[in-house]
Amino acid sequence: MSNSLRKVLVIGGGGREHAIVWKLRQSKRVGPIYCTPGNAGIARDAICFDAPWGENFCELVRRALTLGIDYTIVGPEAPLAEGIVDAFEKAGLKVFGPSREAARLEASKSFAKEVMQAARIPTAMAQTFTDAKEAQKFARKLGPPLIVKADGLAAGKGVTVAYSLEQAYEAIRRNLVERQFGAASERIVIEEFLEGEEASIMAFTDGNVILPMASAQDHKRLHDGDIGPNTGGMGAYSPAPVVTDELMEEVRETVFLPLLEELQRRGIVYKGVIYAGLMITEEGPRVLEFNCRFGDPETQVVLPRLRNDLLDIVEAVCDGRLCEHHLEWDPHVAVCVVMAARGYPEAPEKGAVIEGLEDVMLDGRVLVFHAGTAQRASDFVVAGGRVLGITALHTSLPRALHLAYQEIQRIRFDGAHYRRDIAHRALERLEGGAD
């Protein structure tokens, strides 16, 4: 390629995609950035357009060819699971993300378990079921607490932690009898409950080389104290103190490298981001799940700390040259607090006007990533469950938290909800939050 500016297309329209667009915008090598469908915040940094996926993503492929897109970055898991990478590559387009076959690591929890067991990756003991009575029988044998997971994609809401057999039976019934998540509920995975602290580690890979990113910790539950329904994520912070340098190396050696080797053995080339959701137990790290893309909201705290040019990494992944790079990280701590709509996650209310965004101190230490927002005349309005992600960077976790919560109070919309205890586990590790 020549030294001309690259045209980049980002697929998606949430906080993760806004963080990706924001990071790309910092590159001196990036020209026009396009995003579909985007959101009201992304529209300030990229050219947004609507394009139906269509059969085999034909409309998106056509638009990418017409626009002369050099690289496409896929944010959400659904298009990856449906084969968008295969369709783009077939058309001769360079795309950052795993193929449909590789994306089964997230699209099918039973497939992920099969791969982990074959690769001897440490994970929870589990079995897969399509019959409700057999599933109930195994649940009784395993005993609570236990985990019931819809096999397919359920937007982060397909996992039930059952503290009683009644809760386990209910989760089994909702999936295998009522098909709560449609085709994703045709099969379930029941696994043992693991004690410990969760952490998220994402890594770039070109199929041969793994470059782990800085650690993060997500907060799935809706309310303070980790209670309430599971959500797509109510906040995150990076780095996670539970992930020491030694543990990071252990994850690389016992999780990421065996995973790549097993995929290669199966003839599957994995390119893009691989996300390991971990439980750090007394016996060491155990994999809870793999995701086949950038996490959300983890991306909103990890990318702001990445000093590398994201386009350089994307190119290296697509071209199989990741061995030429190493990642550099800002030592500041990043915290993201998610503002959600009333009724989230079951039935988020839309349409409320968002006020106060112009009052947020955007001085490089505070970032506002839009997720579920739209433009109505001159107003930003609520258009989804997770509305905004307020990210703050500072020299310590307590200071970053103080800054994030200070700025979030400037933003107002009817029904706004956010957790007030983000990073509480890390604060406990820092002896009660002493700065």
Neighbours of 196 (CB within 10 A): 16
Q: Which two tokens stand for residue 353?
A: 């006007």
Where would I find the beta strands (DSSP E) of 154-220? 159-162, 188-192, 197-205, 210-212, 217-218
Q: Judging by beta carbons within 10 Å of its beta carbon (0-12, 13-18, 19+), is residue 178 exposed, middle or buried?
A: exposed
Whether residue 337 is found in the same domain as residue 320: no
pLDDT value of residue 53: 80
Whether residue 201 is found in the same domain as residue 304: yes
**Domain-embedded: residue 345:** yes
Q: Do the Cβ atoms of 8 and 292 come closer than 8 Å?
A: no
Whether residue 211 is found in the same domain as residue 303: yes
- Bridge pairing between strands 197-205 and 188-192: unpaired
pLDDT value of residue 3: 65
Q: 332 in helix, strand or coil?
A: coil
Domain boundary among 275, 298, 324: 324
Domain boundary among 294, 324, 354: 324
Q: How far is CA 314 from CA 74, 252, 320, in A?
A: 11, 20, 10
Share of the chain above pLDDT 70, in %: 98
pLDDT value of residue 302: 98
Domain boundary among 186, 212, 229: 186
Number of compact structural domains in the chain: 4
Whether residue 210 is found in the same domain as residue 317: yes
Q: Nearest to residue 55, comparing CAs of 93, 73, 82? A: 82
pLDDT grade for 1, boundaries at 50, 70 and 90: very low
Q: What are phi and psi of 129, to 5 degrees?
A: -140, 150
Residues 6+ apart with CB under 8 A from 333: 237, 238, 239, 393, 394, 395, 396, 397, 399, 400
Neighbours of 223 (CB within 10 A): 15
**Domain-embedded: residue 59:** yes
Q: Report the CATH number that the domain containing residue 271 is assigned in CATH.
A: 3.30.470.20
Torsion angle of the four alpha carbons 76, 81, 82, 87, in this order, in degrees rounded to the nearest 10: 80
Q: Judging by beta carbons within 10 Å of its beta carbon (0-12, 13-18, 19+), is residue 182 exposed, middle or buried?
A: exposed
pLDDT value of residue 432: 55
Whether residue 160 is found in the same domain as residue 208: no
Whether residue 207 is found in the same domain as residue 317: yes
Better-scored residue on pLDDT, 364 or 238 = 238
Spell out the long-range contacts of 50-54 with Cβ–Cβ below 8 A and sequence spacing 24 or more.
Answer: 53/79, 53/82, 53/84
pLDDT value of residue 208: 95
The separation between CA 148 and the C-alpha centre of its own chain, rounded to angstroms, equals 20
Whether residue 214 is found in the same domain as residue 275: yes
pLDDT in tens, 257-316: 999 999 999 999 999 999 999 999 999 999 999 999 999 999 999 999 999 999 999 999
Whether residue 217 is found in the same domain as residue 272: yes
User: Which domain, by its residues, includes 73?
Assistant: 6-96
pLDDT grade for 433, boundaries at 50, 70 and 90: very low
- The model's pTM: 0.94
Where would I find the beta strands (DSSP E) of 251-372? 272-281, 284-291, 333-340, 353-354, 366-370
